[in-house]
Amino acid sequence: MSVDTILSFEEAMEKYDPVLGFEVHVELNTRTKMFSSAPNVFGDDPNTNVNEVDLGMPGVLPVVNKAAVESSIKIGLALNCKIAESCRFARKNYFYPDTPKNFQTSQYDEPIAYDGWLDVELEDGTVFRVEIERAHMEEDAGKLTHLGGQAGRIQGADYSLVDYNRAGVPLVEIVTKPIEGAGSRAPELAKAYVAAVREIVKNLGVSEARMERGNVRCDANVSLRPHGQERFGIRSETKNVNSLRAVEHAVRYEIQRHAAVLESGVPVTQETRHWHEDTRSTTAGREKSDADDYRYFPEPDLVPVVASREWVEELRATLPEPPAERRKRLKEAWGYSDLEFRDVVNAGVMDSIEETIAAGAAVGLTADAARKWWMGEIVGRAKAADVDPADLGVTPQAIVELNQLVVDGKINNKMASQVLDGVLAGEGAPAEIVEKRGLAMVSDDGPLLEAIDAALAAQPDVADKIRGGKVQAIGAIVGGVMKATRGQADAGRVRELILEKLGVQG
Amino acid sequence: MSSFEPSTELIRLSAAALAAKLKAGEVSAVEVTQAHLDRIASVDGEINAFLHVNTNEALAVAAEVDGIRAAGGAAAEELHQLAGVPIAVKDLIVTIGQPTTAGSKILEGWRSPYDATVVRKLRAAKMPILGKTNLDEFAMGSSTEHSAYGPTRNPWDLERIPGGSGGGSAAAVAAFEAPLALGTDTGGSIRQPGAVTGTVGVKPTYGAVSRYGAIAMASSLDQIGPVSRTVLDSALLQEVIGGHDPYDSTSLTDPFDNLVAAARTGNVEGMRIGIIKELHGEGYQAGVENRFNESLELLKEAGAEIVEVSCPNFKYALGAYYLIMPSEVSSNLAKFDGVRYGMRVLPKDGPLTIERVMAATRAAGFGDEVKRRIILGTYALSAGYYDAYYGSAQKVRTLIQRDFAAAFAQADVLISPTAPTTAFKLGEKLNDPLAMYLNDVATIPANMAGVPGLSLPGGLADEDGLPVGIQLLAPAREDARVYRVGAVLESLLEEKWGGPLLAQAPVLDSNSTVAGGSL
Amino acid sequence: MAAINRDDVAHLARLARIEMSAEELDRMAGELAVIVDSVKSVSEVAGEDVPATSHPIPLSNVFREDVVGHVLTPAEALSGAPDSEDDRFKVPAILDEE
């Protein structure tokens, strides 16, 4: 395999403008497949979720899954698309062993949704509008495993094994119009766009949206044109870029590769590229030899889908608030700064904070308090455990209780951290843990005064300094008291008592 | 009529008559089924109507029916009226427990893990399935000569074709090997074999009978339908196999339960019967034309009003059909690739890649006619040709539908010869695809528009003494009309002949051996 | 419309995955040329204003509820397979090495 020459990204940007385009395939999470009643389940044993329809047995016929159509319409609406009054399925004909009928039932000239847009927010808050060309319904193919030769690679494999469990899983393919004007932010936009689509379908509840399982897959088109040129350059299509980071890297790589090709004076080849995560580069894919002529025609075994306006409006009424609008609303309601809010979003704890605030509404838990708990205590633990913060096992209710214990002066922050450990260890509710671990803060002044006397006696020179007006020396005495009470004293109260005892104004 | 041996007599009875005898307890289902199995054993060596004979299962189902009848009570009362009446199934329709080949080498030995909807309905009615009948490979042909398992012969003349693609089903019924059979009709594959074998065949309204489990040839044209010796028998059978099927998206929800009643109406007084100007006369054999005119006279005498209608776009139907059908064929037959089922052939030399294995498998597994249509369809759908070919043909389809709509504004039922000629000789048109295609000129318009069509025997052509078919067409969903007019015309003709036309068929030599495939 | 020639047939046969010998290509090209010639009038019949009919009986919105139905066992699924391994269909290499 030859290694392509690439230009540095900066050099590429000096001369060229990138034009992007994306085809994102979203696997729907319907219970059954697009055209058969076999279960749509990931990860089962090979060829256990298939019936005669999925295997393309002689004589079988497809029947459309209504839930899949409704999910597709919801996606269309969430992408601000028009929903076709009537649309049809079409056959896309090509031979490939993962395609049981040797045609894919898809949509061609009549997609269910078209002409939409999606506002994509970049990390610094810049909003970039991506125009959506269409979103259409189709079916997924089976899974090929290549064996022999270089393990897992199609090139050089001796044979392949086919599992048709995935064959017929409902897909919605979302196609953008050419995206111009992103400039050097193109790689970042690519990642943000795919993330936004993923967020939308997840928010709609129509897909598990797990990229590592292939629920959301991206084909990225990249072309370059010299600054000032109107006409688009020749594009490459990089297939199956299946993580957000990879989308960013692949677009960046292709921009650099195209620039090098153009610089060498050779026209770019219109081709399919494959992304390799290990080398962070693309290689030319051998075209499926029928790619030039899919011989689309209307699927005669299926009848048109007519989406009445009543049906569309019914579905629209079920849509959840769009993620971007929700973020805007929450940020304002919580009064976070731009930076604070972005950190919360990037840490993936926005939902948790919202739930925590709701759970603590009765006791007046503030948005800032909720943020401090999640960002200060939980995110770090989640990172250490390599799980999503929401999946760590801390409920909003537990946070509310914990916070209340601190507000009531029953424990201090340091103890709260220990209580949280107890919660994670499954020791029970925060109050129980405080009790079990004997963490209650020493609030009776009696034992504290004893400890203060002992500390002053142990460090008479320090006591003198304080008496002499050097109040900042008090730390040593407070420290002694805290040590003696194993941290269970309220440091503020200890300070007050020491000053009182020595007759010094704080 | 002369007297027959009891078993011979049983095989000559209609399905309706057998059903009556079974219900009355005059004969057992095992006797009826065995009589037909014996007949198959005796004559099918000559006819080659069956690719597989389902002896054990057929007898087991018959015995079950007899057991239920003997036990009496509610279960006996609830038996379907055709319970115990045996039937043959075209080998394009999938069946659990028997091979399904579609007449092709590429599916040799394949056994379906599921039943076609119509087969499930036959099983629910407890009709013993005698076996699977021969056909042109994947139903592509008008003579059954394109079967990979040898041609079926016409019981009227063993040197002649039994029509196609459903020559096996028609010949089995004509040779008294089965009282009933299932066929499929994409461009005339039920009706034209009916015409040339002196039997009845019906293509119901598109969607009246589920296609689930019928191996698709051209999805927008295919329709399963009954094959029988009487019009009433076809009505009885369509009521068994018809009705909505959630497994077929093009299946109609309309009830089709008035067909038997229609076949028993017994009059055509005041009905307007339209002669289609474009579907007789030039290009039609003189004997065919004579019998056609005779039928018109009889209907007129019975009180029908004969009108002439014109369907000017029918002359483009054949051309449009030979674009739409192969286009759908090219896609429907793509699944036969040697990966999931059926034959796999490795390339003789060169690298062993799946692409080359698929190509070698399809080269060895498909016959010439199938290949011809796949290539033609691939061409008609390919980039740059779609609009001119497939797209234009779909427009012609609209024009044909408009012609039908105009014709049915003037007539309740349309009438024409089913085929332009009587049965031709084996091999006569094998190397002239176009001449073969022309045999379907009168049957294709019904498939293009989805309307129901029935063919019944119209007598024998003067010049060759071979059967002529009369076709009746009705508007979509009005299948009852073709049964009503068909049954009346049938009784008028039988009155004239002094019995069923098949009584005039030559007696078959019964010394031949059993065709391959049984047990 | 252009007549169909031997090269067209070779291309179509490749698209349709049917291996053809030189003789077959010649014969098929001849036969198809006759057929194509006989159907070419179809493209001249209907005007722009005539809509296409893809289904003989117009229906719409035929759906299935999203309820799980039957599946085949892997043994049933693979019962007709020319070759299999580990409950999967086995096929020769997809690409030839170049």
Residues 6+ apart with CB under 8 A from B123: B61, B115, B129
Alpha-carbon dihedral of residues A344, A346, A348, A350, nearest 10 degrees?
A: 30
**Cα B329 from chain centroid?**
19
Q: What is the number of structural domains in chain B?
A: 2
Q: Which of B334, B399, B434 sits opposite C35 (nearest CB)?
A: B434
Domain that holds residue B189: 16-310+406-504
Do residue A93 and residue B331 have CB atoms under 8 angstroms apart? yes
C96 band by pLDDT with thresholds 50, 70 and 90 = low
Q: What is the Cα–Cα distance from B377 to A297, expressed in whole angstroms?
A: 11
C39 in contact with B at a CB cutoff of 8 Å? yes
Collect all residues of chain A within an 8 Å Cβ-Cβ radius of residue B331.
Answer: 91, 93, 103, 295, 297
Closest C-alpha among B11, B174, B6, B167 to residue B90 = B167
A256 & A350 share domain:
no
Domain that holds residue A27: 9-317
B474 & B333 share domain:
no
| Helix H or strand E segment including C30 | helix C22-39
B302 & B189 share domain:
yes
Is B489 inside any structural domain?
yes
Domain boundary among A299, A317, A335: A317
Residues 6+ apart with CB under 8 A from A293: B382, B383, C15
Do residue B328 and residue A300 have CB atoms under 8 angstroms apart? yes
Measure CA of the first residue to CA of the last residue in chain A; give whole Å.
Answer: 75
B329 & B302 share domain:
no
Phi/psi at B58 (5° precision): -60, -45
Domain boundary among A265, A298, A317: A317
Q: What is the Cα–Cα distance from B422 to B196, expressed in whole angstroms?
A: 6
B379 & B285 share domain:
no
Instruction: Show which subunits contact B, needing at least 3 CB pairs below 8 angstroms.
Output: A, C
C74 in contact with A at a CB cutoff of 8 Å? yes
Q: What is the Cα–Cα distance from A28 to A71, expressed in whole angstroms?
A: 7
- Per the listing, tokens 């014109």 go with B310
Could you list the beta-strand ranges (E) of B69-115.
87-90
Tens-digit pLDDT profile for residues A446-505: 778 888 888 888 888 888 888 888 888 888 888 888 888 877 788 888 888 888 888 777
Q: Could you tell me the CATH number of the domain that includes residue B243?
A: 3.90.1300.10
Residue type, B245: D
Q: What is the Cα–Cα distance from B265 to B260, expressed in whole angstroms?
A: 9
3-class DSSP assignment, residue A20? strand
Could you list the beta-strand ranges (E) of B50-172.
50-53, 87-90, 129-133
A370 & A411 share domain:
yes
Is A4 inside any structural domain?
no
The pTM is what?
0.89
A443 band by pLDDT with thresholds 50, 70 and 90 = low
Mean pLDDT of each 10-residue bin along chain B, 519 residues long: 52 97 97 98 97 98 98 96 98 98 97 98 98 98 97 98 97 98 98 98 98 98 98 98 98 93 96 97 95 98 98 96 97 98 95 95 98 97 90 96 98 98 95 88 98 98 98 98 98 97 89 42
Is A23 inside any structural domain?
yes
Residues 6+ apart with CB under 8 A from C22: none
B398 & B411 share domain:
no
Collect all residues of chain B within an 8 Å Cβ-Cβ radius of residue A91.
Answer: 331
A370 & A466 share domain:
no
Is the Cβ–Cβ distance between B467 and B244 less than 8 Å?
Answer: no
Question: How many CB atoms are closer than 10 A to CB A153?
Answer: 12
Do residue C32 and residue B379 have CB atoms under 8 angstroms apart? yes
Cβ-based burial of B3 (10 A; exposed 0-12, middle 13-18, buried ≥19): exposed
B55 & B178 share domain:
yes
Q: Which residues pair with A306 in a beta bridge?
A: A86
Q: What is the Cα–Cα distance from A123 to A192, expressed in whole angstroms?
A: 8
- Per the listing, tokens 């199995």 go with B37
The residue among A52, A61, A164, A290 with the most chain B CBs within 10 A of its CB, best to mutate, is A61
Question: How many CB atoms are closer than 10 A to CB A461?
Answer: 8
Is B3 inside any structural domain?
no
Residue type, C52: A
Q: What is the pLDDT of residue A286?
A: 66
ipTM comes to: 0.96
Q: Angle formed by the axes of helices A350-359 and A323-334, to 10°?
A: 50
Annotation: CATH topology of C1-44: Histone, subunit A (1.10.20)
A328 & A312 share domain:
no
Q: What is the Cα–Cα distance from B91 to B103, expressed in whole angstroms?
A: 7
Is the Cβ–Cβ distance between B11 and B39 less than 8 Å?
Answer: yes
C31 in contact with B at a CB cutoff of 8 Å? yes
Q: What is the pLDDT of residue B383?
A: 85
Collect all residues of chain A within an 8 Å Cβ-Cβ radius of residue B110.
Answer: 58
Is B186 inside any structural domain?
yes
The token pair at B430 is 């094998």
C-alpha distance from residue C16 to each of A148, B105, B138, B285, C26 (Å): 28, 18, 16, 39, 17
Q: How far is A267 from chain C (nearest CA, A)?
A: 24
Is B4 inside any structural domain?
no
A109 in contact with B at a CB cutoff of 8 Å? no
**Chain A window 88-107: which residues touch B at a Cβ cutoff of 8 Å?**
91, 93, 95, 97, 100-103
Is B223 inside any structural domain?
yes
A302 & A327 share domain:
no
Domain boundary among B356, B390, B405: B405
A413 band by pLDDT with thresholds 50, 70 and 90 = confident
Is A3 inside any structural domain?
no
Do residue A93 and residue B381 have CB atoms under 8 angstroms apart? yes
Is B518 inside any structural domain?
no
Q: Which of B90, B121, B132, B429 is catalytic?
A: B90
Q: What is the Cα–Cα distance from A393 to A414, expressed in whole angstroms?
A: 20
Write the DSSP assignment of A384-416 as a string of letters.
HHTS-GGGSS--HHHHHHHHHHHHTTSS-HHHH
Q: How many helices (H) and strands (E) does chain C have?
A: 4, 3
A189 & A338 share domain:
no
Sheet holding A143-147, edge to edge: A143-147, A159-163, C88-92, C84-85
Cis peptide before C60 (omega within 30 of 0): no
A404 & A354 share domain:
yes
Q: What is the pLDDT of residue A407?
A: 87
Q: How far is C70 from chain B (nearest CA, A)?
A: 11
C-alpha distance from residue C22 to each of A451, B363, B376, B377 (Å): 105, 13, 18, 21
B267 & B330 share domain:
no
Domain boundary among A412, A436, A460: A436
Is A213 inside any structural domain?
yes
Q: Which of B142, B189, B251, B330 is catalytic?
A: B189
Is the Cβ–Cβ distance between B188 and B142 less than 8 Å?
Answer: yes
B350 & B430 share domain:
no
The token pair at A481 is 């008291």
A141 & A235 share domain:
yes
A498 & A425 share domain:
no
- Dihedral sign from CA coordinates of B370, B373, B374, B375: positive
3-class DSSP assignment, residue B285? coil
Is A68 inside any structural domain?
yes
Q: Which residues pair with B182 in a beta bridge?
A: B89, B226
A175 & A283 share domain:
yes
Tens-digit pLDDT profile for residues A212-269: 999 999 999 999 999 999 999 999 999 989 899 999 999 999 999 999 999 999 999 9
Q: Is residue B14 annotated as part of the catalytic site, yes or no? A: no
Collect all residues of chain C within an 8 Å Cβ-Cβ radius of residue B207.
Answer: 57, 59
A498 & A359 share domain:
no
- Dihedral sign from CA coordinates of B191, A60, B151, B357: positive
Is B511 inside any structural domain?
no
Q: Which residues pair with A442 in a beta bridge?
A: A489
B397 & B446 share domain:
no
- Dihedral sign from CA coordinates of B430, B283, B326, B139: negative
Write the DSSP assignment of A297-344 as a string of letters.
EE-TTS--EE--HHHHHHHHHTPPPPHHHHHHHHHHHHT--HHHHHHH
Collect all residues of chain C within an 8 Å Cβ-Cβ radius of residue A298.
Answer: 54
Domain boundary among B390, B405, B420: B405
Tens-digit pLDDT profile for residues A153-205: 777 778 999 999 999 999 999 999 999 999 999 999 999 999 999 999 999 99
Q: What is the pLDDT of residue A425?
A: 87
Q: What is the Cα–Cα distance from B96 to B94, expressed in whole angstroms?
A: 7
Closest C-alpha among B201, B257, B211, B262 to residue B234 = B201
Q: What is the Cα–Cα distance from B141 to B424, expressed in whole angstroms?
A: 13
Collect all residues of chain C within an 8 Å Cβ-Cβ radius of residue A306.
Answer: 60-61
Is the Cβ–Cβ distance between A56 and B335 less than 8 Å?
Answer: yes
Domain boundary among B361, B382, B405: B405
B420 & B381 share domain:
no
B305 & B328 share domain:
no
Is A1 inside any structural domain?
no
Q: What is the Cα–Cα distance from A286 to A280, expressed in whole angstroms?
A: 19
Question: How many CB atoms are closer than 10 A to CB A437?
Answer: 14
Is B317 inside any structural domain?
no
Measure CA of the first residue to CA of the last residue in chain B; give whole Å.
Answer: 35
Is the Cβ–Cβ distance between B296 and B417 less than 8 Å?
Answer: no
Q: Is residue B165 annotated as part of the catalytic site, yes or no? A: yes
B227 & B144 share domain:
yes
Do residue A297 and residue B381 have CB atoms under 8 angstroms apart? yes
A173 & A90 share domain:
yes
Q: What is the number of structural domains in chain A?
A: 3
Q: What is the DSSP letter of A278?
A: T
3-class DSSP assignment, residue B416? strand
Break chain C into its structural domains and give their ranges. Answer: 1-44
Q: How far is A301 from chain B (nearest CA, A)?
A: 6
Q: What is the Cα–Cα distance from C47 to C51, expressed in whole angstroms?
A: 9
Residue type, B39: R
Q: Which of A46, A65, A306 sits opposite C86 (nearest CB)?
A: A46
Q: Angle formed by the axes of helices B368-381 and C22-39, to 10°?
A: 60
Q: What is the pLDDT of residue A448?
A: 82
Q: What is the pLDDT of residue C46?
A: 84
Q: Is residue B90 annotated as part of the catalytic site, yes or no? A: yes
Phi/psi at B352 (5° precision): -90, 90
